[in-house]
Chain A
Amino acid sequence: MMQHLIILPIVLPLFTGLFMLLSRNGATRSRRILALASTSLLVVAGALQVIQSGDDVVRYYALGDWQPPFGIILVLDRLSAMMVLLTAILALGSVIYACAGDDEQGSNFHGLFQLQLMGVNGAFLTGDLFNLFVFFEVLLIASYALLIHGGGKSRIHSSFHYVALNLAGSALFLIAVGVLYGVTGTLNMTDMATRIPELDASQAGLAKVGAMLLLVVFGLKAAMMPLYFWLPRAYAAAPAPVAALFVIMSKVGIYGILRIYTLIFGAQAGVLADIAQPWAWWLGLATLALGSVGVIAARDLRTQVAYLILVSIGTLLAGIGMNSQQATSALLYYMIHTTLVTGGLFLLADAIARQRGKAGARIVRSRSVTQTAPLGILFFVGAMAVVGMPPLSGAIGKTLVMQAASLPSDKAWLWSILLANGLVSVIALSRAGSTVFWRANHKEETHETMGAMRGIALVFLIGASPLISLLAGPVTEFTEATATQLSDQQRYIRAILPADTAGGDA
């Protein structure tokens, strides 16, 4: 049973999603219970995977028992397990929130949601480059449908941009995969990693083209600097539970960069070693700087949160650019924090918008929210966490990332931009908070409250921040071990390929 655990996070949402699409006329209540049950099980499966990967053995699951490097494999190591668990926790929060009513604004919400989870989990677990493309498409087509869930002009309009851009991105992905296959003759990522160092000069040039194209594709998914203009509009227009789940989608791009450029084009790759890291560093810093401008310029809470995601993406990319074990460990901790908190903030922006009548989530003077105290406290905690005020997790994450900068020039760039961003975010969020909660006309109140389900979801996601600050010890221990495991490519290769096919030095 335990050896099939690896594929469970893909199969479980697949079957739940298909079942829900087939029984689409069933009762709302039973669909909600099924969605909650399936997502909770996913959390359990993710937790089991994290425990299983804790013994530092890289496990693989050969589909159809076709052994690597010939068949498609799924690989479970610490990084994959951590990402699967993170996805499941975020998804549970947004499913709980959606069950309060958002899921009934259109059809098939829960089914599509589960299929999107399948795509995300598959992308984290697969060990095959073309299979990664397929899972990207699965998660994208589900996200296209989820983005227009509930309809409305701004959603339809922003979704056409999103779809066209991602279709172009998929075309680039296929070209990159084709180039790499043509050069190395394999699609298995591990096998590719053993063949890249053996390429001669002309082939290495082609492989470099493939590698840089892949960086563009992952950069588009992660919303790296020149490729981020789609993100704020799409995420701000999406329904709240969907926007919360989309937070993990940009992390899929970060995961792709981390995986491909440590395993295939990592330190052992000869002339192609570490080709992406300098790009990630400078573009990450640029994303961070422009994200800060967006945070302070935003006139809508949801747009502001979308720009906060860009800030986190910039920080993560800069962490990848530093290319050290310490930096990787720091960015993984920061990723857990930022994913859960920004997901929670999207839900919070929606909960606030519901109680302000016509003003919605716009940062303008209007009627006050009904539940000032709970929403205000949640906003305060979320904002403190996301800007990086001690004692919450954002402060720990940012400190870890800043500590990882070792060269004086790196320090100068990263510290100044990251700290300036912290200041700007404090100003922007305190302005937003005081406008929404204090500059209000107390006469006309709506009597709408957020209800128990939404409250639970908000506390669950935003409460994750104090929780992972309390558990910072065990969490950083895990991320440090993950970073060590990522940097040891030979061990990863030996675990997957039999000795006689694994290159010269195995």
Chain B
Amino acid sequence: MEALYATMTGALAASGLYLTLRGRTFPVVVGLTLLSYAVNLFLFSTGGLTTDGAAVIKEHTDHYADPLPQALVLTAIVIGFAMTAFSVILAIRVRGELGNDVVNVTRGDEPREDKS
């Protein structure tokens, strides 16, 4: 199970990384989302993989799963959700303001004054 889990997490992270490095905003956003899925899976596994273990307290058992990573993943999912929503909106604004969705327009780091 560990090998399967690790392979899946790695595949997700690799796909996410590849898409993040693409030149248009939509693949970048999807890539960041995949990356956050991979991170959530990874975080979930940090307490060790346990099947059929009690998360908090159960009588007559000493077979426990670590509850803390589950709480961490919950927090990370919520934050990741908000960030994804924000970056989607921002990507739409970029598309609207600049007229294209190319991420990497080559220009210097001088801020341009808007001609209004």
Contacts and interface: CB of A to CB of B under 8 A. Distances in A.
A412 interface: no
Given A134-B75, A233-B109, A168 B32 contact: yes
A178 B70 CA distance: 12
Interface string A142-160: 0010001001111111111
A233 B112 CA distance: 10
A178 B46 contact: yes
Interface in A126-185: 130, 134, 137, 141, 144, 148, 151-161, 163-164, 167-168, 170-171, 174-175, 177-179, 181-182
B65 interface: no
B44 to A, nearest CB: 9
Interface in A426-460: none
A174 B98 contact: no
B68 interface: yes
B90 A153 contact: no
B100 to A, nearest CB: 11
Nearest to A361: B111
B79 A157 contact: no
Contacts of A182: 46-48
Contact of B87 (A163, A181, A299, A303): A163
Interface string B84-95: 001100110110
Interface in B25-40: 25, 28, 32, 35-36, 38-40
A130 B109 contact: no
Given A144-B90, A153-B112, A171-B39, A161 B103 contact: yes
Given A157-B98, A161-B103, A174 B76 contact: yes
A168 B35 contact: yes
A171 B35 contact: yes
A160 B25 CA distance: 9
A237 B97 contact: no
A178 B42 contact: yes
Interface residues of A, number: 44
A83 interface: no
Contact of B36 (A153, A157, A171, A358): A171
Given A152-B114, A161-B103, A182-B46, A130 B87 contact: no
A456 B70 CA distance: 50
Nearest to A156: B97
Nearest to A130: B72
Given A168-B32, A168-B35, A160 B103 contact: yes
A181 B32 contact: no
A179 B39 CA distance: 11
A164 B114 contact: no
Contact of A360 (B40, B46, B98, B113): B113
A236 B83 contact: no
Contacts of B110: 236, 298-300, 303, 362
The binding surface of chain A is classed by DSSP as: helix
A167 B32 contact: yes
B111 A237 contact: yes
Contact of B43 (A152, A155, A174, A300): A174
A175 B43 CA distance: 7
B4 interface: no
B109 A303 contact: yes
B56 interface: no
Contacts of A152: 114
A154 B90 contact: no
Contact of A156 (B48, B69, B98, B109): B98
Interface string A300-330: 1011001000000000000000000000000
A232 interface: yes
Interface string B17-30: 00010000100100
A153 B99 CA distance: 10
B107 to A, nearest CB: 9
B25 A178 contact: no
B3 interface: no
A222 interface: no
A154 B114 contact: yes
Interface string A61-85: 0000000000000000000000000
A187 interface: yes
Given A137-B79, A236-B110, A163 B39 contact: no
**Considering residues A153, A154, A156, A174, which has the most beta carbons from chain B within 10 angstroms of its beta carbon?**
A174
A155 B97 CA distance: 10
Nearest to B17: A168
A410 B76 CA distance: 42
Given A137-B79, A141-B86, A163-B87, A303 B39 contact: no
B1 interface: no
Contacts of A306: 109
B87 A167 contact: yes
Given A134-B75, A179-B46, A182-B46, A164 B39 contact: no
Contact of A144 (B40, B86, B105): B86
B69 to A, nearest CB: 7
B86 A163 contact: yes
B82 interface: yes
Contacts of A134: 75, 79
Which 10 A-B pairs rank lowest in CB-CB distance, beginning with the nearest?
A182-B46, A233-B109, A178-B46, A232-B109, A237-B111, A178-B43, A154-B111, A154-B112, A236-B111, A174-B39
13 contacts: A154-B113, A158-B111, A160-B90, A160-B103, A161-B103, A174-B40, A178-B72, A181-B68, A182-B48, A236-B109, A298-B110, A300-B110, A358-B113
Given A167-B83, A303-B110, 6 more contacts: A141-B83, A160-B103, A163-B86, A175-B42, A300-B111, A303-B111
